[in-house]
Amino acid sequence: MTSLVRIAPGALTIGRPLPWEVYDSDGSVLLCQGYVIQNDSQLEQLFERGLFKPRIIEVHQEGNEASGDGADCNPFARYPDYLHTLENALAAVANGEPEAHGQIQDLAHALERACIHAPDSCLALVHLYSTGPTIHEQIIFYAILCQLIARQFGLDEQRIPVLTEAALSANLALVPIADKLNAVNKVLNSEQRSVISKHPQRSILALQAAGIDNDLLFTIIAQHHEQADGSGYPKGLSGADIRPEAEILALAERYIAMITKRAYRKRMNVTAARKLIANLADGTFRPALPKALLQILGEYPPGTLVRLENNEVGVITGRPVRARGPFVQIVFDASGKSSDARLERDTSVPYFGIQALEEPDIMPSMNFSSMWGFPD
């Protein structure tokens, strides 16, 4: 059994769901994943008493995940594993450890399985945890979106794993300072801008120093801040000179930046973000890529909260299927009371239509695995 470790200060914030189950020193569950911390007192108690169970994702040689827990395609159950594996893999790259590439490949494979078998749940994971994510969470979100966009776009299946590895490693040079940069509420100084502009090449150099040798991987990373109209960096490439994989990664990063909070601005709601994504088809990206992302998201992506015509509030759990949906699990009943019953609504049915997006300051607590139909 994996030993429990103390939760690091800054890993949890008020108003967003717990990314893991929290245990006490005896190994008993204090709070379940999806519980939302309501105030400073709760937060302090968790930092004083709370422990979590880290676990590294491993993959057998034949490609089946070695967890053996039957939940390998449940992104909510695996979210702590994704984060812990990513943190260890990037640290291994930074230290030049030879096992680093295998760790990145294993994580890319685990995310691929989840995105293929549970795409709505993966999209929900992104939107439920995007309020104020750490750099490691953002990187997981990039990888998920790259998987989904690539398949919608029709990218060769053989190239998708390398794209996912690029999404997981392209920003490793920014990891030590990313959270600080996101907290800056003034114009970046020249040193900070230099770090940002040089991070693709620095990430490549770190990967090479760890013994990784993959030209496609390095090209995707080197080009993921180029833009089709020639306004990107570091080389000002344009058009077909930029690989589609690099543009997919750039688009994933752009969308996540829109829907996450920064010190200098509020996060956008998905409606505003969709409008900006639609505008990116004007030459900033290959037009087919923003269109692919919009098709994946739909008008109301899984993981967003909505108010229905009958005044119930719920979370989008599934995208439309033919003439039905989107589908909603109810969180608050029409009187505003928390709903413990598992009630699904088909919003294409009269009286259950979507009236508006809900943007609560503090997310309601939810059992994500149960709401998305995964076994306990």
3-class secondary structure, 372: coil
Is the pLDDT higher at 338 or at 193? 338
Pick the closest to residue 17 from 3, 41, 37, 2 (CA basis).
37
CATH T-level topology, domain 75-297: Hypothetical protein af1432 (1.10.3210)
Structure tokens at 276: 């900006």
Answer yes or no: is pLDDT of 182 > 50: yes
Residue 23's contacts (CB-CB under 8 Å, 6 or more residues apart) are 4, 29, 30, 50, 51, 52, 53
User: 67-81, 157-171, 172-186, 329-343: which has the highest mean pLDDT?
Assistant: 157-171
pLDDT (tens digit per residue) in 37-85:
988 998 888 888 889 888 888 764 444 554 444 457 899 999 999 999 9
Q: What's the average model confidence in pLDDT over 142-152?
A: 98
3-class secondary structure, 284: coil
Q: How much of the chain, in percent, has pLDDT values that exceed 70?
A: 91
Cα dihedral: 119, 123, 125, 128 (round 10)? -150
pLDDT (tens digit per residue) in 71-126:
578 999 999 999 999 999 999 999 999 999 999 999 999 999 999 999 999 999 99
Q: Are 113 and 72 in contact (CB under 8 A)?
A: yes
Separation of CA 209 from chain center: 27
| Phi, psi dihedral angles at 115 (to 5 degrees) | -70, -35
* pLDDT at residue 362 in the model: 81
Is the pLDDT higher at 162 or at 359? 162
Answer yes or no: is pLDDT of 189 > 80: no
pLDDT (tens digit per residue) in 263-295:
667 889 999 999 999 999 888 899 999 999 999
The C-alpha atoms of residue 31 and residue 20 are separated, in whole angstroms, by 9
Pick the closest to residue 124 from 296, 1, 350, 289 (CA basis).
296
Q: Cis omega before residue 326 (within 30°)?
A: yes
Residue 248's contacts (CB-CB under 8 Å, 6 or more residues apart) are 146, 149, 150, 153, 155, 163, 289
* pLDDT at residue 1 in the model: 44
3-class secondary structure, 29: strand
Where are any strands of DSSP class E within the chain? 5-6, 22-23, 29-31, 51-52, 305-308, 313-318, 327-332, 344-346, 354-358
* pLDDT at residue 249 in the model: 98
The C-alpha atoms of residue 134 and residue 137 are separated, in whole angstroms, by 5
Helices (H), 11-118: 40-49, 75-94, 100-117
* pLDDT at residue 332 in the model: 95
Answer yes or no: is pLDDT of 25 > 80: yes
Residue bearing tokens 């750490």: 134
Helices (H), 155-237: 160-169, 175-182, 190-209, 215-223
Buried b / exposed e over 44-55, threshold 16 CB at 10 Å, is eebeeebbbbbe
Is the pLDDT higher at 268 or at 183? 268
Residue 261's contacts (CB-CB under 8 Å, 6 or more residues apart) are 131, 132, 267
* pLDDT at residue 6 in the model: 86
Separation of CA 279 from chain center: 23
pLDDT (tens digit per residue) in 238-267:
889 999 999 999 999 999 999 998 766 788
Answer yes or no: is pLDDT of 198 > 90: no
What secondary structure letter does DSSP report for 269?
A: P
